Amino acid sequence: MSGVNEIRSTFLDYFRKNGHEVVPSSPLVPRNDPTLMFVNAGMVQFKNVFTGLETRNYSRASTAQKCVRAGGKHNDLDNVGYTARHHTFFEMLGNFSFGDYFKENAIEFAWNLITKEFGIDREKLLVTVYHTDDEAAGFWKKIAGLPEQKIIRIATSDNFWAMGDTGPCGPCSEIFYDHGEGIPGGPPGSPDEDGDRFIEIWNLVFMQFEQVTKEERIALPRPSIDTGMGLERIAAVLQGKHDNYDIDLFQALIRASEEATGVKAEGKNRASHRVIADHLRASSFLIADGVLPSNEGRGYVLRRIMRRAMRHAQLLGAAEPLMWRLVPALVREMGQAYPELVRGQPLITETLKLEETRFRKTLARGLTLLSDATDTMSSGDRLDGETAFKLYDTYGFPLDLTQDALRQRGISVDTDGFNTAMERQKAEARANWAGSGEAATEAVWFSVKDKVGATEFLGYDTEQAEGVV
Ligand code: ATP
Ligand code: MG
Ligand code: MG
Ligand code: MG
């Protein structure tokens, strides 16, 4: 059985052998893309290379990229703990061609890696192509020998990728692994495709067009390749597991969480341990890349992730802050591949400990309020927006934490009512604002920053945290 660390190296070595430059993961906070909350795919650090704004001294690259999908266009937060295949933080393995090789080679590289190097049973594999992409279908037949019924044509945007309203775009082809009949879910394109039987392991994007304006799309003279494979998903396949949370890495984290709480990951407690393990990774990697919990922007996404995990720790009966105690297990599992975790360990530990210590002061009282308010409710009922807002405002419950807390009972939250209450409070705050308060805080910040430098003030060198070696 190969562990996650070995699988990552096998992937990168394979592409290195095939003429690719192995490039380190970029930090989770995008450097030059203010529209993007977090890096959510391997291609992000190469955007300008694909558009031609930037050139590199290589035309083939391969990476294991840290990704977070917990906000913005891709948000898998609500899936975590409930599907077998989603994380908020995961690693995307990828190979890229910048106007070098194209469709045929991309399919060949992918097929050879998974069937020869990794030795996956070809009978268990099937692929999708964009409905008009006869070329890709033809290569799958020629290279992989797949029969027609295992090359599924999809007409939706799932199989057509675009960088934005304009820019590079093109059809994609996804590779699926069939985990077997016992698991609910249908093949891609079928009505129950969202089940977990057929799991997408690798997405190949064929960037062959450029969208010039809304109406005009031209063929690129030198098309490119962008691919992404979820490391945790391929590890599950290679370790004979159906579920990402059963791979070596997650088992180690879940074991740490079981030991620290004295509660087994069984029955109703299973999801909590999974959420904790997942959110531990997301929080720690975000902190290592310089994000700190706050009430807005990226920092608020981090805070939401942390607090969700903390509610699950409370559910498991943890009497003391839990998350910081799991950091050593994470560093043991992933510190070698990501030295920023080792460098950031003290900051990660302190940040988790402080946030949980503070949140625990209001968490229990908030939960009491919540259970009083929903005492007589049953599945299909809805919690009023005022109460959800009070939980937010007085007890520090992000809206999604309240929703997550009620989810198992089938109770929803009136989000419109919540937003109305929030707007009202903001209007009141504006009306009462006497000036100077905010500016004074800013002035303090800048004067400290001037004295010691921003990074030092944060107690952490973000440049160093990038894992760029
Ligand atoms: P899905 O349809 O399963 O949500 P996706 O099509 O959104 O996946 P892509 O954007 O194509 O995913 O990302 C490339 C690869 O990254 C996927 O094939 C999958 O292996 C992996 N991946 C995507 N999202 C996640 C996630 N939340 N957790 C773990 N792996 C993921
Ligand atoms: Mg998805
Ligand atoms: Mg998909
Ligand atoms: Mg995909």
Q: For the CA atoms of 414, 418, 423, 426, what is the dihedral angle to 10 degrees?
A: 180
Q: What pLDDT, on the 0 to 100 scale, is given for residue 443?
A: 44
pTM: 0.90
Q: Identify the DSSP state of 42.
A: G
Ligand 1 contacts CB of residue 340 (under 6 A): no
Q: What pLDDT, on the 0 to 100 scale, is given for residue 432?
A: 81
Ligand 1 contacts CB of residue 233 (under 6 A): yes
Q: Identify the DSSP state of 231.
A: H
ipTM above 0.85, yes or no: yes
Ligand 1 contacts CB of residue 92 (under 6 A): yes
SS3 (DSSP) at 279? helix
Q: What is the pLDDT along the chain (469 residues), one digit of tens a residue?
A: 699 999 999 999 999 999 999 999 999 999 877 778 999 999 999 999 999 999 999 999 999 999 999 977 788 998 898 889 999 999 999 999 999 999 999 999 999 999 999 999 999 999 999 999 999 999 999 999 999 999 999 999 999 999 888 889 999 999 999 999 999 999 999 999 988 999 999 999 999 999 999 999 999 889 999 999 999 999 999 999 999 999 999 999 999 999 999 999 999 999 999 999 999 999 999 999 999 999 999 999 999 999 999 999 999 999 999 999 999 999 999 999 999 999 999 999 999 999 999 999 999 999 999 999 999 999 999 999 999 999 999 999 999 999 999 998 999 999 999 999 999 999 988 888 765 444 444 444 444 444 444 433 333 333 333 333 2
Q: What pLDDT, on the 0 to 100 scale, is given for residue 33?
A: 77
DSSP secondary structure, 67-96, as one string = EE-EETTEE-GGGTTTSSS--SEEEEEEEE
SS3 (DSSP) at 160? strand
Q: Could you tell me if 45 and 67 are in contact, meaning their C-beta atoms sit under 8 angstroms apart?
A: no
Phi, psi of 102 (to 5 degrees): -135, -150
Distance CA(426)–CA(422), nearest Å, equals: 6
Ligand 1 contacts CB of residue 228 (under 6 A): yes
Q: Identify the DSSP state of 19.
A: T
Distance CA(227)–CA(173), nearest Å, equals: 9
Q: What pLDDT, on the 0 to 100 scale, is given for residue 1?
A: 64
Give the residue, out of 192, 233, 238, with the most ligand 1 atoms within 8 A of its beta carbon, to mutate for a pocket test: 233
Distance from Cα 459 to the centre of ligand 3, integer Å: 39
Q: What pLDDT, on the 0 to 100 scale, is given for residue 194?
A: 86
Distance from Cα 458 to the centre of ligand 3, integer Å: 38
Q: What pLDDT, on the 0 to 100 scale, is given for residue 469?
A: 28
Q: What pLDDT, on the 0 to 100 scale, is given for residue 442?
A: 45
Q: What pLDDT, on the 0 to 100 scale, is given for residue 133?
A: 97
Ligand 1 contacts CB of residue 91 (under 6 A): no
